[in-house]
Chains A and B, each alone.
Chain A
């Protein structure tokens, strides 16, 4: 019998991710594109890149399910699933013992509790305030004049705690400039920045409650200092899932497989 290919497309605030799945079991390909101004076109580009990687054509994809903040404008999608739903399904697929999923993307922070089948029990979302999202890190990296990917490793070198007064990303940017003028090291400031965002996420996680295993997904979990601060804050092991920014798209592809009748 021929393998059934399904796809998940995650229309994020900043990037668009596509995952191609075979028989609801095996990841065949994945691709990412910057959303830019025309997110639909970017979605098509991501799709083509993933198809090319797998050596497949669009006609061979049985079902496409969309997720993400911009899922209404996803190309090729027959239906959609919420980001929370997709995150839980993707996380359980990769880490069956996961019961708490923390997802921090460019413009949203989410936390959810789920059962062993990836059914969501409770969740919280912050989409109103940049202080608990990836854009906070981007602003801070800009203020410190370092690359975004350098911010985490820089923070790990610091053993000092300097408190940040500002919660707001806009005010924090000015505060970082002040800290630089006060001759604090970039390492210490980078750590303060991580403490700040992790504290925001932690308070959201505590509100919903958490149960082991705790897993991290979303682009921000690629930052090792963020992961370390979360572990310290929650006093428990936190597992970063492989390719964390693709977990939502993976979850959508799993939902697509179900909707296509793959067992």
Chain B
């Protein structure tokens, strides 16, 4: 099989500090996205373990696999999970979930936990959509804007470029700064046209890094226009795969004139974290 560049590396994590033993409620959140799936386990509202995997052709199978991997190497078993919430694009297809909650609600709640209660604006950019969310101090959604119609403003655009240039997605950001001077952004909006524009630039002798810089800056600007429409209030956090692309994040910071909150854990798990927190609330309120 040909080498694949466009997807983020799979990873899993277990907290060195938190333990599930003695916890009153152990809950799980599963975020089945179009490209990746995360299973997050929380003990009394503290992060215990998570996995971040690729979504396969079947959502139920992907959810199962993600949970299995999150539990791997821990002494926690599935039957100890008090409640599970599914979220994301495939949220209704999580066989072991007790309930499904939209990813907008989950990302806001997850960002509130991961980046702190001062976060008021959350940008979530995943494989096939992009959401700008305004939330309150509890991580409750106040308003949001979403693009899921056009690949240009989603992770998909970056994936196409990573494949075209044969640059692993985790290297895109770093390489995009290895240019003498910031080039003008790729001018085509549509990913299909941007791809032909990029081929033209390569033929004209542009090095890969320069093309990446031009695309990262075009994407940062697309995100900026979405954020401008909803209005950015500090603190500002980014979740989803794009948060790991410094090429887009730094350029967006520059355009907005503010600093983006830095995550301590994988920003792709925010939806799963939010889902696990909703699960905890539901159990505590006796609504489970």
Contact = CB atoms under 8 A, between A and B. Distances in A.
Interface of A: 37, 107, 128-131, 135-136, 139, 167-171, 181
Specify the main secondary structure of chain A where it touches its partner.
Answer: helix
B268 interface: no
B93 interface: no
Given A129-B150, A181-B57, A170 B192 contact: yes
A171 B151 contact: yes
A129 B153 CA distance: 12
Contact of B149 (A136, A168, A181): A168
Contacts of A107: 193, 196
B156 A135 contact: no
Given A168-B150, A170-B160, A130 B128 contact: no
Nearest to A36: B203
B79 to A, nearest CB: 34
28 contacts: A37-B200, A107-B193, A128-B189, A128-B193, A129-B189, A129-B190, A130-B190, A130-B191, A130-B193, A131-B190, A135-B192, A135-B193, A136-B192, A167-B149, A167-B150, A168-B149, A168-B150, A168-B151, A168-B152, A169-B151, A169-B192, A170-B151, A170-B156, A170-B157, A170-B191, A170-B192, A171-B128, A181-B57
Interface in B191-207: 191-193, 196, 200, 203
Given A128-B189, A129-B150, 4 more contacts: A135-B192, A139-B192, A167-B150, A168-B149
A168 B147 CA distance: 11
Nearest to B157: A170
Interface in B31-86: 57
A131 B190 CA distance: 9
Interface of B is mostly: helix
A131 B196 CA distance: 15
Contacts of B150: 129, 167-168
Contacts of B192: 130, 135-136, 139, 169-170
Interface string B123-160: 00000100000000000000000000111100011001
A128 B193 CA distance: 8
A169 B152 CA distance: 10
Interface in B204-220: none
Interface string B112-131: 00000000000000001000
- CB-based closest 6 A-B pairs: A170-B151, A130-B192, A130-B190, A170-B191, A168-B151, A129-B190
A169 B193 CA distance: 10
Contacts of B160: 170
A37 B193 contact: no
B57 A169 contact: no
B189 A171 contact: no
Contacts of A128: 188-190, 193
A129 B192 CA distance: 8
A107 B200 CA distance: 15
Contacts of A130: 190-193
A168 B192 CA distance: 9
Contacts of A167: 149-150
Nearest to A136: B192
A181 B149 CA distance: 22
A130 B193 CA distance: 7
Contacts of A168: 149-152, 191
Interface centre among A135, A171, A181 (most CB of B within 10 A): A171
Of B57, B156, B189, B193, most buried by chain A (CB within 10 Å of CB) is B193
A170 B194 CA distance: 12
Contacts of B157: 170
Contacts of A181: 57
Contacts of B156: 170-171
A175 to B, nearest CB: 11
A128 B197 CA distance: 13
Contacts of B128: 171
Contacts of A139: 192
A199 to B, nearest CB: 14
A41 B23 CA distance: 74
Nearest to B156: A170
A171 B192 CA distance: 11
A82 B151 CA distance: 30
A143 to B, nearest CB: 12
Contacts of A37: 200, 203
Contacts of B149: 167-168
A230 B207 CA distance: 43
A197 to B, nearest CB: 13
A40 to B, nearest CB: 14
A171 B151 CA distance: 7
Contacts of B57: 181
A163 to B, nearest CB: 15
B256 to A, nearest CB: 24
